[in-house]
Amino acid sequence: MMLFCGQQERNERLFYKLLIDNVEELLPIVYTPVVGEACQKYGSIFKRPQGLYISLKEKGKILEVLKNWPERSIQVIVVTDGERILGLGDLGCQGMGIPVGKLALYSALGGVRPSACLPITIDVGTNNEKLLNDEFYIGLRQKRATGKEYYDLLHEFMSAVKQNYGEKVLVQFEDFANHNAFELLAKYGTTHLVFNDDIQGTASVVLAGVVAALKLIGGTLPEHTFLFLGAGEAGTGIAELIALEMSKQTKAPIEESRKKIWLVDSKGLIVSSRVNSLQHFKKPWAHEHEPVSTLIEAVKVIKPTVLIGSSGVGKTFTKEVVEAMTANNKIPLILALSNPTSQSECTAEEAYQWSEGRAIFASGSPFDPVEYKGKVYYSGQANNAYIFPGFGLGLVMSGAIRVHDDMLLAASEALAKQVTEENYKKGLTYPPFSDIRKISANIAANVAAKAYELGLATHLPRPQDLVKYAESCMYSPLYRNYR
């Protein structure tokens, strides 16, 4: 693992060649689950910085710090503050592994030039006591700054980014805690080209998987009933995008569509009697219902056809939960999205065993095929890695200046279309990652088409064939032929 990842710094072209040619095998190393472990151990395996750290100490000087980065023409920034790394919690500035890993995928899967990618970690401290007491911790040894101090630093950062790189640089927010993620997205969504991967990327990939799964489980999207465990960024982001797509199909107001979607958080089912004590992003999901305190009870009374885990807490889809889903549905659709593997709501093996081979299952981190009663079951990887590289490429190649929800729907639609009959026969609701460059080109083209349609694209005139254009923009790790 170290040897391969070390290649990124020693011989970048070889690293990308290996990664692209062996993507299914190497993705779990550069990305979830191994990247999670790398973040946990970042302090002791640290050799040299792979990205840019901006700490509270740099307040007032962020523009200068950005100018220190050796590359000038940046197209994509992935930034974290390390407060909610995957389902592993606050890892402080050791979270740098995430922007580095995500951007490696931008280049390998989406073809954005490595030199145009900038990983950034904003260090405002950490509340992780273990790290604060760890002699190898590489960040500020203080509790997290909050409130005005935090928001002032982020504002200076966002302003410096625009000043230094202009309006067309994409800023992808990654693994911020709920209490900041929604606010940052809302605040900068109108002034910058920003995208929150955990809210929007996850939403787009899950919608694609659900739409594709309809071929296997039957019915139309608005006919299904959804139950989420987890009402944070991923849960509410996915729920909202599904409701938006339902409303486009039925022409009913979004408030109506939301009623088909239920969320459970740590205090039980989100219902109207809880509305006053709910965080603002949960309020739209507080439907009329009597209180229900556990997931299993919720599965029994709501009778969802689709169960989605997005709470970051592992082993929460118990045998009882999967059995209740199977009792209510001929083919239950079960998505265990939390990462890394240790936080998965259940394993693929458990999903197939406990549903007696009836479930269609996908998960955020990969699982190998499972043999159950002589048959092999394949599960897809419902991970935003399918979306963000192509989505970002679509924004960059069209010179988009803002992200719009319809672009997320466009990305979903393009991904769902890439699932083949052969994939469906295996029970897969996502195409294999081995085709990801082609998939990303199609996603990019559909996203760019939407940017042009909405008048948000600045790369004019619009290229005729957007798929061909996307392909022509993609970085390939080839050596030039000098003759």
DSSP label of 192: S
Considering CB distances under 5 to 8 angstroms, the limit depending on partner class, which of Mg ion, ligand OAA, none binds residue 339?
A: ligand OAA
What is the 3-class SS of 47-86, one letter each residue?
A: CCCCCEEEEHHHCCCHHHHHHHCCCCCCCEEEEECCCCEC
In angstroms, give the least distance from the CB of 322 to Mg ion: 25
* CB-CB neighbours of 279 under 10 Å: 13
Q: Which of 83, 90, 175, 350 binds Mg ion (CB under 5 A)?
A: 175
Q: Which residue has the tokens 């402080």?
A: 92
453 is in an annotated binding site: no
In angstroms, give the least distance from the CB of 448 to ligand OAA: 23
Active-site residues, by number, are 31, 102
| 98 versus 445: smaller Cβ distance to ligand OAA | 98
Q: How many residues bind ligand OAA (CB under 6 A)?
A: 9
Helices (H), 172-232: 178-188, 202-217
| Beta strands 375-377 and 370-372, pairing class | antiparallel
| HSE-up (13 A, CA, CB side) for residue 162 | 13
3-state helix, strand, coil in the chain (%, to 5): 50, 10, 35
Instruction: Kindly give, in sequence order, each residue whose CB lies less than 8 Å from that of residue 64, ignoring residues fewer than 6 positions away.
Output: none
Q: Which of 81, 123, 198, 350 binds Mg ion (CB under 5 A)?
A: 198
Burial 148-163, CB ≥16 within 10 A → b, else e: eebeebbebbbebbbe
Binding string, residues 65-94; x marks residues near ligand OAA by CB under 6 A: ---------------------x--------
Q: Which residue has the tokens 């040897």?
A: 3
| 347 versus 384: smaller Cβ distance to Mg ion | 384
Q: How far is CA 66 from CA 53, 56, 117, 139, 311, in A?
A: 10, 14, 13, 18, 34
Considering CB distances under 5 to 8 angstroms, the limit depending on partner class, which of ligand OAA, Mg ion, none binds residue 123?
A: none
257 near ligand OAA, rule: CB under 6 A? no
175 near ligand OAA, rule: CB under 6 A? yes
197 near ligand OAA, rule: CB under 6 A? yes
198 is in an annotated binding site: yes
In angstroms, give the least distance from the CB of 384 to ligand OAA: 5
Q: How many residues bind Mg ion (CB under 5 A)?
A: 3
Radius of gyration for the chain, computed over Cα atoms and rounded to the nearest angstrom:
22
Token readout for 248 is: 């486009």
429 near ligand OAA, rule: CB under 6 A? no
In angstroms, give the least distance from the CB of 77 to Mg ion: 15
Stretch that binds Mg ion, among 131-139, 196-204, 290-298, 403-411 (CB under 5 A): 196-204
Considering CB distances under 5 to 8 angstroms, the limit depending on partner class, which of ligand OAA, Mg ion, none binds residue 383?
A: ligand OAA
100 near ligand OAA, rule: CB under 6 A? no
Q: Which residue has the tokens 């639609």?
A: 413
32 near ligand OAA, rule: CB under 6 A? yes
In angstroms, give the least distance from the CB of 387 to Mg ion: 12
81 near Mg ion, rule: CB under 5 A? no
* Nearest-angstrom CA–CA distance, 187 and 303: 37
152 is in an annotated binding site: no
E-strand stretches of 226-305: 226-229, 261-265, 268-269
Binding string, residues 252-281; x marks residues near Mg ion by CB under 5 A: ------------------------------
Q: Which of 200, 311, 383, 412 binds ligand OAA (CB under 6 A)?
A: 383
Stretch that binds Mg ion, among 132-140, 167-175, 283-291, 400-408 (CB under 5 A): 167-175
Of 257, 248, 246, 304, give the one whose Cα is nearest residue 284.
257
Helices (H), 92-146: 97-110, 129-132
| 120 versus 246: smaller Cβ distance to ligand OAA | 120
Q: Which of 339, 353, 418, 429 binds ligand OAA (CB under 6 A)?
A: 339
383 is in an annotated binding site: yes
Instruction: Kindly give, in sequence order, each residue whose CB lies less than 8 Å from that of residue 183, ignoring residues fewer than 6 positions away.
Output: none
Q: Which of 344, 384, 418, 429 binds ligand OAA (CB under 6 A)?
A: 384
| 97 versus 380: smaller Cβ distance to Mg ion | 97
84 is in an annotated binding site: yes
Considering CB distances under 5 to 8 angstroms, the limit depending on partner class, which of Mg ion, ligand OAA, none binds residue 413?
A: none
Phi/psi of residue 337, nearest 5 degrees: -90, -20
* Nearest-angstrom CA–CA distance, 202 and 108: 19
Q: Which residue has the tokens 């190393």?
A: 29
Which residue ranges make up the site for Mg ion (CB under 5 A)? 174-175, 198
Annotated binding-site members:
84, 174-175, 198, 339, 383
Annotated binding-site members for (S)-malate:
84, 339, 383
Which residue ranges make up the site for ligand OAA (CB under 6 A)? 32, 86, 175, 197-198, 339, 364, 383-384
Annotated binding-site members for a divalent metal cation:
174-175, 198
